[in-house]
Chains A and B, each alone.
Chain A
Amino acid sequence: MELSNISISGLIILVIACLLVIALMVVNAIVMVYAERKGAGFIQRRPGPYEVGPWGTLQPVVDSMKLLGKQIFVPSNVDFFLFFAAPVLAFFPVLLLFLPIPFGPFLTALKVPDGIVLILAFAGFGLLANLLAGYASNNKYGVLGAGRAVSQGVAYEIPMILALLAVVFQTGSMNLSEIVEAQGRWPWSWNILCQPLAFFIYLVTLVAETNRAPFDLPEGESELTAGFHTEYSGMGFALFFLAEYANMLLVSFVCATFFLGGYKGPVLDGFWWTFIKAYLVMMFIVWIRWTFPRVRFDQLLNINWKWLLPLSILNLWITAVVVNFIGK
């Protein structure tokens, strides 16, 4: 619905949408924790969680109970306000990012003409939260982790924007619903085929943006014990955990809408296609995590500034030329 002339009914829809999104985020965290631990288990030829509940399904629920119950330990002379602001800042802005995403033909919480600008603008908040967490927890490892988180987050924002911009160029509009409408029903008419380079660049940046797998330097276990969230236990750690999975879900939804045809599917359109595609992308991220070693920090930045950025600019330029001459 249009943002400008907001009415009472519009407001109610918005509130319901927000509640639904919070429910989605929590349920998704539970499902993703289970899926990740099962996936990791199967890759490593072990059964994964098995004891709690049928086939271990209650394991993440019990984990979150434990995290709720754990004592929140605050180390000595810590910046009290920032220490507690950081997890909250990490988790809640992500809630706002789910609104413009078109789950179904009519299921869009906030019909905003330039949905992608809203998403990318707020994507930087998680970065700020990591910085605050590392800085405020009075721990040398935290400070090192925070430094890495900032430079990595800033570095990988730019190729991400340029990659998405290429798709926007091609479809001519910033509104996510129109982008999905522009893609056809069958896989060969999705953007992934006409923008393969943009898809590859976006895939790399989404792994880096959510601090996952080969790029998980801010919380590199083997070097910085736990990076920026070393000193967090109990709910603080749980919120960071939830934020990480919410970010993963968000970038997977954006990847689904931009490159994999959103809610358009071969049989009949609907929000389930978005979820299937998003969860496929997430399983791919989990698969990457359990395969590759960690990239060193300067290599991480080299990949970005020396390879991803030029490639994305080149791709943008080619798209512009093609769109200009063929005239969409």
Chain B
Amino acid sequence: MSNFSFLNPFGVLDEPGTYMGDFYSHNFSKKAKEGTVILNLGPQHPSTHGVLRVLVELYGEYVMRSEPVLGYLHRSHEKMAEHKTAYGFLPNMGRVDYLNAIGWNWAYAASCEQLAGIQVPERAEYLRVISAELNRISSHLVWWGAFVLDLGAFTPILYAFDDREDLCDILQRVTGSRLTMNYFRFGGVGADGDERFFRLIREFIPRMRERLKMYRALVTDNVILRRRLEGIGSMDADMCLRYGATGPILRAAGVRRDVRKAIPYGIYDRFDYEIPVADRCDNFGRYWVRVEEIEQSLRIVEQAVAQIPEGKHIVDKAPKPAWKIPAGESVFSVEGARGEISVHVISDGGKSPYRVKLRAPGFSNLALFAEAAEGTLLADAIATLGSLDLVIPEIDR
């Protein structure tokens, strides 16, 4: 036995090399029934977004049992946090989930601000809301294209990226990068939006609304897509509660829960927008909720751009790179594109934070895939996987 005996308490791990396949497929096949096929979906598989591997036990085309295998993209952001300064960990936040970088920026920066009691100036709050909502729209667009690509339509992802290019150009003007944005600072934001930034946004909103009509005509009302999504992959409210699934999955199960309204942070309470909720509990419900959210985010950005005051974009004596988080503990939740992003910072007042726990919504959302995909067809299991809007770097951290 390897000398790390305490790592193998129940003797679950057999000696490597005494079985076919690798450790996880062997561990998974122990409970396999007769006449079933163990299939590896991924990690190199066109429809797992990034490097997700799902072990699937097939009986013919029906998925009897499945188990996602994670860790192929584990970079250990939480361990890096214990070796970097609080300020130095901010760029990591853009890399944890590159589709919704601003959401993660907000969660970490606000968690440290909440602990240190730093107030953010008005203009910065508006810039935060604008960039977060634009980032949410771009994340939903990538999900929308990739999800319909999973179902076999090759063109819509190009139209979605067509719009997302405009969003990346807009966000690049303030954050400097298009994907892994490092925009937030403790006490405000990194750069102020200039006249061209706001003009581009004002031009983008009506154009996007026109495009949403086109998306509805091309995909949402398409009968093949409706048949592929309606009534498949049912996840009701109780299942979401048992697994801790949040975001569009929870809202598609009929629970009106959005962190922006449940735990009001920033200045979200100044804008009027609804939370799209559908109690369909199936793939189409999740699809509909996300497409509606794009519309609601457009409304928020519209109002924010109209009401933004003049002023500083960062507080005067903003913390410098060598800033230390005061001792204490803080949990802060943000409504990311995929669900509730929470950052739990424990600090001993030293140069680096003592422990940073990143709660990724995808991690809990993926956990309920095994139960939702039981007994469905392989094609439906792939559709359910796509409807969870998974971003693997966020799950593996």
Contacts and interface: CB of A to CB of B under 8 A. Distances in A.
Contacts of A140: 37, 39
Interface of A: 40, 43-46, 140-141, 144, 214, 216, 220-223, 225, 289-299
Interface string B148-172: 1111111100110010000000000
A44 B155 contact: yes
A44 B158 contact: yes
Interface residues of B, number: 29
Contacts of B380: 296
- 4 smallest beta-carbon distances between A and B, as pairs: A294-B152, A44-B158, A293-B153, A293-B151
A296 B148 contact: no
Interface string B130-162: 000000000000000000111111110011001
B321 interface: no
B47 A214 contact: no
Given A220-B152, A221-B46, A144 B377 contact: no
A141 B380 CA distance: 16
Interface string B361-397: 0000000000000000111101000000000000000
B158 A296 contact: no
Contacts of B5: none
Nearest to B40: A140
* Interface-central residue, A46, A140, A214, A296, by most chain B CB under 10 Å: A296
* Interface-central residue, A216, A291, A292, by most chain B CB under 10 Å: A292
B151 A46 contact: no
Interface of B is mostly: helix
Interface in B10-53: 37, 39, 45-47
Interface of B: 37, 39, 45-47, 61, 148-155, 158-159, 162, 218-219, 222, 224-225, 227-228, 377-380, 382
A214 B155 contact: no
Nearest to B37: A140
Contacts of B377: 296-298
A216 B224 CA distance: 13
A140 B21 CA distance: 14
Contact of B152 (A46, A214, A298): A214
Given A144-B378, A223-B378, A294 B151 contact: yes
Contact of A293 (B37, B152, B378): B152
Nearest to A143: B37
A221 B162 CA distance: 23
B153 A292 contact: yes
A225 B45 contact: yes
B224 A293 contact: yes
A187 B338 CA distance: 54
Contacts of A45: 158-159, 162
A284 B47 CA distance: 27
Contacts, number: 77
Contacts of A293: 148, 151-153, 219, 222, 224-225, 228
A298 B379 CA distance: 10
5 contacts: A223-B382, A292-B222, A293-B153, A297-B377, A297-B379
Contacts of A296: 227-228, 377, 379-380
A291 B155 contact: yes
Contacts of A214: 152, 224
Contacts of B228: 293-296, 299
A275 to B, nearest CB: 27
Contacts of A220: 152, 379
Nearest to B218: A291
A71 B149 CA distance: 30
A76 B37 CA distance: 19
Contact of A223 (B47, B154, B162): B47
A87 B148 CA distance: 31
* Interface-central residue, B39, B61, B149, B154, by most chain A CB under 10 Å: B154
A144 B382 CA distance: 15
Contacts of B224: 214, 292-295, 299
A198 B228 CA distance: 27
Contacts of A289: 154
A286 to B, nearest CB: 11
Contacts of B154: 40, 44, 289-290
A222 B227 contact: no
Contacts of A295: 224, 227-228
A222 B155 contact: no
Contacts of A46: 158
Contacts of A290: 154-155
Contacts of A223: 47, 378-379, 382
Nearest to B149: A222
Contacts of B149: 222
* Interface-central residue, A45, A144, A289, A294, by most chain B CB under 10 Å: A294
A144 B61 contact: yes
Given A144-B61, A144-B378, A296-B228, A222 B46 contact: yes
A282 to B, nearest CB: 17
A186 to B, nearest CB: 35
